[in-house]
Amino acid sequence: MNMEEIKIQQTDIRKAKPDQSNLPFGHYFTDHMFLLDYNLEQGWHEPRIVPYAPLVLDPAAMVFHYGQAVFEGMKAFIAKDEQILLFRPNKNMERFNQSNRRLEIPEIDGDFIIHAIQKLVNVDKEWIPSGKGTSLYIRPFIIATEACLGVRASHTYQLLVILSPVGAYYSEGLEPVKINVESSYTRAVRGGLGTAKAAGNYAASIKAQTEAKDAGYSQVLWLDAIEKKYIEEVGSMNIFFKINGKVITPELNGSILAGVTRDSIMELLNNWGVPVEERQISIEEVYEASLNGTLEEVFGTGTAAVISPVGELFWNNHQMIVNQGHIGQLSQKLYDTITGIQTGLIPDTLHWTVQV
């Protein structure tokens, strides 16, 4: 497929743009979306940009019944001279196909989808907010569309890309969040869907998330499914601990999602000469560190929030306060560096950004 094949149908009706100073995450959508279809005869075909609109799907579409759905999350930023930048989009496309393989969804041509995203972002570029901490969130996703109640891989799919202007992910902004360590529910288990960005992982997490919210916590920290002992990740973020000068993050063990932000943080820290250990880390180890005063910083990492400092962890009736509830120096430096590179304020020596 090549770029020229993408048909563009512009909308006649432009929606009102939201107030940039108060953008909730994922509530507003732009004027257009990208669509691509798959069937067995033609493979992926008919790439097109059309007015943003509801979908018409058969009620028997397999995605509704068996959850064959994967997604990605990335961002476009306004940099200086009105340049528009994407951050490591090739990483998202690699992971998109990793998710596709796990769910028996046909793989996509990552370079082509990046081109499509560039075209779509260009069509809706007036929607990219320019305030500090804001960006245009890009949500590519694939759903199984065949009308059939048999349990097997669908024979037809649709890939869509929608865009949403966003502010900071957490309403508290860069203020440290309180996190509940979940000891009863399980999000993912080795061999399951945890390594895929699959809609079903979130379905599995919502009840624990609701209970944590009701108890005053903004997120859930998941432990391993079997022993409820080793730390996995937060709802939509990977997690890092700074203990006694060392940075530790759980290794990719087969049930954790390989975050693009996680990867970027590790590369930055390595470049800065800060040792990063990718290994099993138990919640007891973190608790011990909090008791003996060596738990220096805890932060979540993900595209939506970039860095989310953790001010409190609640586990098994133990309250662990991190850095007196303040953001740590390293967390702040990582946040400033990544957002600086994303918005062109810091030279992109690692060649992470791609111009739209």
Ligand X SMILES: *Cc1c(COP(=O)(O)O)cnc(C)c1O
Which stretches of the chain bind ligand X, using CB under 6 A? 73, 197, 201, 233, 236-238, 257, 259-262, 301-303
DSSP string, 259-299: -HHHHHHHHHHHHTT--EEES--BHHHHHHHHHTT-EEEEE
Token digits for 213?
Answer: 């919210």
CB of 5 to ligand X, least distance (A): 28
CA distance 236 to 166: 16
CB of 54 to ligand X, least distance (A): 25
On whether the CB atoms of residues 153 and 68 are closer than 8 A, the answer is yes
Whichever of 79 and 257 has its CB closer to ligand X, that residue is: 257
Whichever of 119 and 262 has its CB closer to ligand X, that residue is: 262
Whichever of 93 and 295 has its CB closer to ligand X, that residue is: 93
CB of 336 to ligand X, least distance (A): 17
DSSP string, 143-164: EE--B--SSS--S-EEEEEEEE
Query: Which helix H or strand E contains 19, and what residues bound it?
Result: none
CB of 70 to ligand X, least distance (A): 10
Which residue type occupies 277? E
Q: How far, CA to CA in Å, does 227 sit from each of 183, 209, 240, 278, 286?
A: 9, 20, 20, 19, 16
CB of 203 to ligand X, least distance (A): 12
Whichever of 49 and 113 has its CB closer to ligand X, that residue is: 113
CB of 152 to ligand X, least distance (A): 25
Whichever of 46 and 348 has its CB closer to ligand X, that residue is: 348
CB of 222 to ligand X, least distance (A): 9
DSSP 226: T
On whether the CB atoms of residues 143 and 63 are closer than 8 A, the answer is yes
Whichever of 148 and 354 has its CB closer to ligand X, that residue is: 354
Token digits for 56?
Answer: 């018409």
Whichever of 209 and 303 has its CB closer to ligand X, that residue is: 303
Sorted by sequence, the CB contacts under 8 Å of residue 218 that are 6+ apart come out as 170, 172, 177, 178, 179, 212
Token digits for 94?
Answer: 């690699």
SS3 category, 105: coil
